Chain A
Amino acid sequence: MSSQNNEVPFLNGYFNIQYSYDDLFGSNPGLQQNWKTYFTSFSNLGNEEIMNRSQDMMRFLKENGVTYNIYGDPSGLNRPWNLDVVPFLISKEEWILIEAGLIQRANLFDLILKDIYGEQQLIKEGILPMEIIYNHRGFLRECCGIKLPGKHNLVIYAADIAKNNNGKIWVLNDRTQAPSGSGYSLENRLAMARIVPELFNGLKVRRLSPYYNAMRNALIEMSPQQKEQPRIVILTPGPSNETYFEHSFLSSHLGFTLVQGDDLMVKDNHVWLKTLGGLEKVDVIVRRVDDVYCDPLELKEDSQLGVPGLLQAVRSGNVSIANPLGSSVVENPGLMPFLPAIARRLLSEDLKLSTIASWWCGQPKELQYVLDHLPSLLIKRIYRDSLNRTSIDATLLSSAELSDLKQKIKAQPHLYVGQEKVDFSPTPAMVNGKLEPCHALFRSFAISDNGNYTAMQGGLTRTSLDKNNMVISNQLGGFSKDTWILSGDESSTLSIKKEQEYVHVQSHASKSDIIPSRTAENLFWVGRYTERVLGNARFQRTVMQFVEEANKAFIDDDLNLKQCLLRSLTLHTHTYPGFTGTGSEKKMLEPWKELGDILFTVNRSGSLSNNIASFYRAVHAVRDHWSTDTWRVLREMEETWQNASAVNHKGHYKMLNAVDSLITSMMAFVSLNRESISREQGWNLLDAGRKIEQSLLIISMLRSTLVNKREDQVEYILQEAVLKSNESLVNYRFKYRAHLQMPLVLDLLLLDPHNPRSLVYQVERLKAYLSGLPKINASHSLAAHERYALEAFTMIKLADKDGLSIIDRHSHRYKKLDEFLTKMNGLLLNISNAVSTTYFKHAQTQQQLFRSGNL
C-alpha cells in the first residue's frame, strides 16, 4: 500500500501504519503540495505541542459554550463540540467548480420552488412526477399562490458535498428548510485562528466573514417595507433544540433578536415581538423552526413552536421569512434523478456538480432496480420524519432487516429513493493522537444577496471514524473540521487578525434596550436563583460549621442549639420533612447524611443542587447575555460542583470546601455582571430579581431562627449564625462594638440603610428598579408593583427596632417581629406576581378552538 518514494516521512511518528500520499490526501497534486505546506507547520509545532493545542481548542470551544444537543439523550444534552486540529483542504481549482456548481444549484432550487408554489409547469410537462412533490410532507398547499417579494424565494441554500477517489465532486444532500452549520463553521474558524494560528502559515485561506455580511444584507433587503433598520428575529424552537448554540451564536454575531414562537404574536396581519415595553413590529424572521410547525392555525395544529396567524401575515405581505414557509419541499431526495432534466428545462444548462446516481421508487422500472440491488444501495425517504430514519445504508443490513425494508418500500414506493454508494476520497484526521485517513462530508452554503447567490468561502466539514458508515450526521456523533479553501488571490484570504476583530464588532447597537418579555423573565429568575443559591449556601455553611465545631462549644445547652439550627435549616430551605417531624431526632444525632442530601440531591426540591439546576436553566435560556469570562466562571463552578456531588459524604471538610468554592464562584458571577452588563432594562430585571430574593431570604431566615424566644445563650449563638450567614457579623462588631442583642441585630439586618445586606437596602433598590421599568399605562397613577414596593418601603421606614424586639409574654415569641415579617413577605410576593403579569406576557397559552364536525 505504500511505495517507498511516496511516503510521508516527517509524519511517520503519527501513524499506526504507513500511508502513501495518495492514501492520505487523494491524488490531486496541487492539493498534495498544500498538505505538504500544512504538515510542515504541523511538524514544526511538534507532537507534544499539537496535543496541547488540541486540548486548548476543546477547552476554548467548551468555554464558548459550543455544543450540539442530542435529542432523546439525557446525558447528551449540551454535548461538547469536537473539532479536529487538521482542517479539510479544498484546492483553488476544486473550489472554482464547487462554487459555480453550488450557485447553479441554489438558482435551480429557487426556480423549482417557485414553480411548485406557482404554475407547476415541471409537473404539467411531465418532467417531474407529481407524487414526489404532493406526497412530500413539506408541500404546504396553504402556501400555493402566495407571491413573495424579492428575486429569490430560496434565501439560504446548503449542500452536502463529497469527493470520491478520482477527485470527482458529488452532491449528496440539498438543504433548503433551515440549513444549519453556518454558525459552527465560523466558531470552528475562530477556534483554529485563536489556538493554532501557526498552521495557517504559507497557506492562503479564504475568509468567512463576507458570507455573514452578505447574510446580514440579504436579510435587511428582505424587509417588506424598505427600512433602514428593519427588525430581524431568529426564530428558534428553544434551548433543547440540537443546534440551539448556533441560533444563539448567530443572534449575537449578527445582532438579531433570538425569539421563540410565543415571543411573537400576529395582530393586524403584522408580526409583533412582545417586549418589556410593549409590542415591536417584526419585519424579517430567520426561521430555524421546521415550516409545518410555524403556524398552529393553518399548519400543524398541535405545534407549540409557532405563531398563530403567521401564514396570514405572510399572505398579507407584511413579514418575510428566510427560508420561506414551504421551502422544505425541495429538500427532497426524490428530486435527485430528475435534476439534470429540470436544469436543462429551467436553466438551459447541464448540472455542474454531479448528483449521486439515484432511483425514485415511484416508477415501476426504478422500483424493480432498487429492490434487485437493495444490498448495495443507500435508501432515503423523500422527507424527514421523526419516526423513520431518513437515510439507511442497506449494505449494513441483515437479511431480515433487508426484507423488512423491502416491504416498507413496496408499500409506499413513492416515498423512497435508492442511491448509489460511492467511495469517498480520504482526508487526514487526528484520531487519538495519530493521523489516519477518514472520509469527510463538506457542507457548503449560499445566500441570496442583491439578486445573486454568494457562497461561503468555507463551510462545515464533518467526518466519521467508521469507514463503512456513509451516513454522516451530527445526530450520530463524529467530529468536525474547519474547512480551508485555498486561494491564489491575496485580497480574499484570511488575515487572522481581521477575522478576530470582525467578531467583536456589533453593528446593531441602537435597539439593544428592547428586550423580549421572555428574556426579561429569564433574567429576573437568574437574579432570583443567584441569590437563592447564595443565601441557602451561606446559611447551610454556617449551620455545618457549627455542627462541626459543636463539641467545642462552651455553652451548656449544646444539643438544644444544634436542634434549633438544623430545624431552621429545613424551614429556611423548604426541604421538608428534613430535621422536622417524626424521626428527626435520630437525624439530628447523625446530621451529616441529611446535610449532604440537601446539598447534592438534585431532584430534591429545595436542595442546593436543585436550585443550582434552576439557576443554570435560566442562565442558558439567556445565554447571549453573559460574557466569555462569565461563562468560564459558570462552567468551572458547574464542574467543581459536579465533582463535589460525585464524592458526596466523603468528609465534612470536603462538603464545606465545596460550598465555599460555590459561594466564591457565585460572587464572581455577580461581580462580573455588575462590571459587564449595561445599565438598561435587562440589568434592572436581573437585579430586581436579586433584590426580591434577598429580601425574601432575610425574612425567611429571621422567621425560621429568631422569632421564637430562646434561652439567652442559645439566642446569642443563633443571632451570630444569622449575622454570619448574611455577611454582617463583621459589620455588627464594627458598628456597635457590643455584644449581640436583639434590637441592634434587627436594626442592622432590617433597618440600616447603609448596610448593603439589610432589608431596607434591598427594598429601596427594588423600588428604584421597578419605577424604571417601562410604563404600560400612560396615567400618572402608580402601577400595582410600584404601589406594593412603596408600601413595603414605608413600612420598614416606620418600623422601630425596640418595638420589634418586644417579647410577647403569653406566646413567648417576638410577636411584633413575626407580624412585621409576615406582612413584608406578602408584599414582596405581590410585587413578584405583579411584575410577572404586567411584563412577562408570553405566559398566556395558546389553545385550539373545538372544531365542528360534519354530521
Chain B
Amino acid sequence: MQYQITHTTEYEYHQSVSLCHNVTRLILRNTEDQLCKKTVVKITPQPDIICEYKDFFGNNVMYFAIQQQHKHLKVTVVSQIEKRITAGSMLNFYQTTPWEEIKLQVLEPGDDNFDARQYITETAITKSTEEILRYAQQSFTPRRSLFYASAELMQRICKDFEFKPGFTTVATPLDIVIKERKGVCQDFAHFAIACIRSMGLPVRYVSGYLETLAPEGKEKLVGVDASHAWFSIFIPNTGWIDFDPTNNMMPGEQHITIGWGRDYADVTPLKGVILSSGPHQLRVSVDVRRIL
C-alpha cells in the first residue's frame, strides 16, 4: 500500500518576529514495514539556515532558522511511503514468554537488548505512582506473557478512558488524565508506557499518523486526520511490537511511523523559540491518503 501524507503547521504572530529557531521531527524514518520514497519540505518564509541530522534515537531531525522579520510561519511536509505487511511468524513463538522472564532477558548482552534497556526508566512525563502500578498489575499478573498482558492493558485503557480532543494539551500531566479518565492518543500512550515501565519493562513512544477511512459513500475530507501516537513493547529476539490503545488495535497497514523515543518530548513534531513578546496562534492539519 502506498500513502501520501501532507502535514501542515502554521503559526500566526501578532507582532512581527525577527528571529526564530525551530526543530522538527516530521520526516518519516524507514522501518521494517515502511519505506519512505519521497519527502518534500516547504517552509515559508524561506529559512536562512537549514540543517538535517539524525537524533540519538535515529529519528530524522530538521533544524531551521528564520532571521528576517515575519508574521507568519508555515511548514508543510509531504511524504510518500510504501507500507508492507511483515509476516508475524516469529511472533507466535515468543508471544508466550512471561513478562518476568523478559525482564531478565533484556539484561543479557546484545545490541538490541542494550538499545531496549534505555526505555525502561521512567521519564518526567511517565513518572510512576502507586495508582499506575496498581493499574498495571491487574494486567501484569504473575507468569503472564508480556504480549497478552500488554494487549489487555491496551484494551483496558481503550475501555476505561474517554477519547476527548481538547480536554488535554501537550503539557497536561498524567495524573490529571488518570483522574479524569479523559484525553487523547498521546495521553493514552503515555499512560500505557508509565504502566509498563512501572513493571520494569522497556517500552517506547511512537509518533506517527493514522489513515482514517471515510464513511462509505462519502469522499474523505482533507485535514480530518491528525498526527497520532501509540506505544511499542520489546520482546528479545523478536523485536518491537506496536499497540494502539486509542483504537484498541495492533497497528498495521494504516499506521504510519514518523519516529520514536522515550516519550513525546523526544519526538515533538515541531518546536521552536522566537524572540517576541506578543501572543501567537497555531494551526495544524494532516491529510493521509492512499495513492493507487
A residues near B (Cβ < 8 Å) are 123-124, 126, 130-131, 134-135, 141-142, 144-145, 265-269, 296-298, 301, 308-309, 312, 315-316, 414, 844-855
Contact = CB atoms under 8 A, between A and B. Distances in A.
A267 B65 contact: yes
26 contacts: A130-B117, A134-B118, A135-B121, A141-B56, A141-B57, A142-B55, A266-B21, A267-B67, A269-B49, A297-B22, A298-B23, A312-B51, A315-B51, A844-B18, A844-B275, A849-B273, A849-B274, A850-B11, A850-B280, A851-B170, A851-B270, A853-B169, A853-B184, A854-B185, A854-B189, A854-B228
A414 B184 CA distance: 32
Contacts of B227: 852-855
B207 interface: yes
Contact of A316 (B51, B111, B266): B51
Contacts, number: 125
Nearest to A130: B117
B110 to A, nearest CB: 10
Contact of A845 (B55, B271, B277): B277
A848 B272 CA distance: 6
A847 B277 contact: yes
B226 A855 contact: yes
Given A268-B49, A315-B53, A849-B280, A854 B271 contact: no
Given A134-B118, A135-B121, A855-B228, 7 more contacts: A145-B56, A268-B48, A309-B21, A849-B271, A849-B273, A854-B186, A854-B229
B76 interface: no
A134 B116 CA distance: 12
List 9 A-B pairs, minimum CB-CB distance, nearest first.
Answer: A854-B229, A141-B56, A855-B226, A308-B273, A849-B272, A853-B170, A309-B21, A850-B282, A854-B186
Contacts of A851: 170, 268-271
Nearest to B165: A855
B140 interface: no
B221 interface: no
Contact of A141 (B55, B207, B274): B55
Nearest to B117: A130
A849 B228 contact: no
Nearest to B48: A268
Question: By CB atoms of chain B within 10 A, which of A131, A308, A414 has the most?
Answer: A308
Interface residues on B, range: 35 or more
Contacts of B226: 854-855
Given A124-B114, A141-B55, A298-B23, A134 B121 contact: yes
Nearest to A267: B67
Interface string B95-131: 0000000000000010100100110010000000000
Contacts of A142: 55-56
B9 interface: yes
A297 B61 CA distance: 13
A127 to B, nearest CB: 12
Contacts of A268: 48-49, 67
Given A267-B19, A297-B273, A852-B270, A144 B184 contact: no
A855 B185 contact: yes
A309 B271 CA distance: 12
Given A134-B121, A269-B51, A126 B109 contact: yes
Contacts of A846: 273-275
B284 interface: yes
Contacts of A144: 56
Interface string B254-284: 0000000000101011111111110010101
Nearest to B230: A854
Contact of B186 (A266, A308, A848, A853): A853
B199 interface: no
Contact of B282 (A265, A269, A852): A852
B171 to A, nearest CB: 9
A316 B114 CA distance: 29
A297 B23 contact: yes
B244 to A, nearest CB: 12
A45 B121 CA distance: 62
Nearest to A414: B121
B184 A854 contact: yes
B65 A847 contact: no
B228 A853 contact: no
Contacts of A847: 273-277, 280
Contact of B118 (A130, A265, A301, A845): A130
Nearest to B65: A309
Nearest to B67: A267
B66 to A, nearest CB: 11
A308 B63 CA distance: 12
A123 B110 CA distance: 11
A852 B67 contact: no
B20 interface: yes
A771 B22 CA distance: 39
Interface string B174-214: 00000000001110010000000000000000010000000
Nearest to A141: B56
B11 A849 contact: yes
B114 A852 contact: no
Contact of B271 (A130, A135, A269, A297): A297
Question: By CB atoms of chain B within 10 A, which of A141, A315, A847 has the most?
Answer: A847
Contacts of A267: 19, 65, 67
Contact of A265 (B19, B117, B269): B19
Nearest to B17: A847
Contacts of A414: 121
B170 A845 contact: no
Nearest to A849: B272
A131 B120 CA distance: 10
A144 to B, nearest CB: 5
Contacts of A854: 184-186, 189, 207, 226-229, 264, 269
A475 to B, nearest CB: 25
A414 B121 CA distance: 10
B284 A852 contact: yes
Contacts of A852: 9, 170, 227, 269-270, 282, 284
Question: By CB atoms of chain B within 10 A, which of A123, A141, A414, A850 has the most?
Answer: A850
A312 B63 contact: yes
A444 B186 CA distance: 48
Interface in B36-63: 48-49, 51, 53, 55-57, 63
Contacts of B114: 123-124, 130
Given A308-B21, A852-B270, A845 B275 contact: yes
Contacts of A265: 19, 275
B256 to A, nearest CB: 12
Question: By CB atoms of chain B within 10 A, which of A135, A845, A849 has the most?
Answer: A849
A312 B51 CA distance: 9
Contacts of A850: 11, 280, 282
Nearest to B276: A847
A296 B117 CA distance: 28
A294 to B, nearest CB: 13
B8 to A, nearest CB: 10
A25 B9 CA distance: 70
Question: By CB atoms of chain B within 10 A, which of A296, A309, A316, A845 has the most?
Answer: A309
A847 B270 CA distance: 14
Contacts of A124: 111, 114
Contacts of B264: 853-854
Question: By CB atoms of chain B within 10 A, which of A414, A846, A851 has the most?
Answer: A851
Contacts of B23: 297-298
B16 to A, nearest CB: 12
Contacts of B118: 130, 134
Nearest to A134: B118
Question: By CB atoms of chain B within 10 A, which of A135, A141, A296, A301 has the most?
Answer: A141
Contacts of A301: 271
Given A142-B55, A267-B67, A309-B65, A855 B276 contact: no
A844 B277 contact: yes
Contacts of A316: 51
Contacts of B55: 141-142
